[in-house]
Structures are given as C-alpha cells and as structure tokens.
Copies of this chain bind each other. A is one copy, B any other.
Amino acid sequence: MHAETKDEMRDKILEAALKRFTHYSASKTTMNEIADDLHCSKASLYYYFPDKKGLHFAVLEKIGEIFISEQEAEGENIISAEQTLLNILEVKRQFLERYCRLELFKILNDNSEGTQRMIKEVKNREDALLARIIEYGVKIGEFAVDNPKQLAELYNQAMFGLRFAAVDCFQINTDIEAEHLEMILAQQKLLTEIFVKGLKYR
C-alpha cells in the first residue's frame, strides 16, 4: 500500500477503519485487521496516528463532520422553518442507518477530554443551526418567539431524549438500535409538529 501524499494515506487508513467499524463495530476491530485490509503493516498505522485512541478519535471527527455538515446543508436555503426541521430529522435518520453499527461510543464513552469537546462542538453547531432556522421562522413571521437560542437548545435536547422513548425497560444504550429507529423518528416528527405550533403563537 502506498499513497501519493501523507494526507492521502491518512485518509485511506481512516476509510479502512471506518469500513471495519461499520461492519464489525469499533471494539471488535484490531489494528492488525485494519493494516491487513490495507496490505500494509501495523507499524505503518502508527506512523500516521499516535495510538489506537488517536485513530478512533480521528474516525469520530470524520463522521462527526459528516453528521453536522449534512444537517447544515439542509439549512442553506430554507423555505419553511417547519419543513427544514423535518428535513433535518430525515437527514439524521439516514445518517444513523448508515453508521449505527460502528458503536464508536462503546469505546469513546470514557469522559475523555477530546471526545467530550468533540461532542459538545457538534451539539453547539446543531444548536446554532436550529437557532438560525427558528430565527428565520421569526423573520418571515412563521414563528412568534423572542428566545430562539434557548428554544433551539430545548428542541435539540428533546429530540435527543426521544431516542430513549421506544426502549421497553431501561435498556439504555448510547448507540441506537436500528429496529427502534422508525418509531423514534415518528415520535420526533410528531413532537416537531407540536413544537412548531407552540412557536407560532404568543
């Protein structure tokens, strides 16, 4: 295995890791397996990443960026704020369908410095996007509220919380199970409708 540039090789490794992770989950993937997939030696991986955790983190960064940028794309040209919120739900569902199997959080669940910052940053960008959407709604007269930022955060938390709605008992798991996805999405859509109506009147 050889690539033109250093960055290119780094990307190839990330891609191979992500492929393994989505097939077999991150915790069941060894550095040797990734190296074998790339027909290179394990030592090479350590030339590009300081350690296994560093690789995990880089993968998290990669999919975090995909996750948030796909949502931000939906916010590029808003027609109706309500419709945009529903579109974002759909985008997030597709994302989850693609990546729910990698179970990165099983590993990065430690309250490690970097991971928390990463997650917080994604959350902040989501909050900011949602705030922009609500502010847009206010501007065009779709909504009548005076605290869009606060409401954006609340909405985001409420959508997140509904992940645990479908769970029968308290089998709580950070990584979502594909089976419940549809039911959760339905509840998220319904709550979005009510929430949006709640924003329309003072």
A66 at the interface (CB under 8 A from B): no
A163 surroundings in chain B (CB, below 8 A): 161
**Is there contact, CB below 8 Å, between A165 and B169?**
no
- Which residue from B154, B172, B174, B200 sits with its C-beta under 8 Å from A187? B154
A111 at the interface (CB under 8 A from B): yes
Instruction: Tell me the interface secondary structure of chain A in the complex.
Output: helix
A47 at the interface (CB under 8 A from B): no
A67 at the interface (CB under 8 A from B): no
When C-beta atoms are compared, the residue in chain B nearest to A169 turns out to be B116
A178 at the interface (CB under 8 A from B): no
> What's the least CB distance linking A85 to chain B, in Å?
13
When C-beta atoms are compared, the residue in chain B nearest to A174 turns out to be B170
- Which residue from B165, B193, B197 sits with its C-beta under 8 Å from A161? B165
Interface residues, chain A, with chain B CB atoms under 8 Å away: 105, 109, 111, 115-116, 119-120, 150-151, 154, 157-158, 160-165, 168-172, 174, 187, 190-191, 193-201
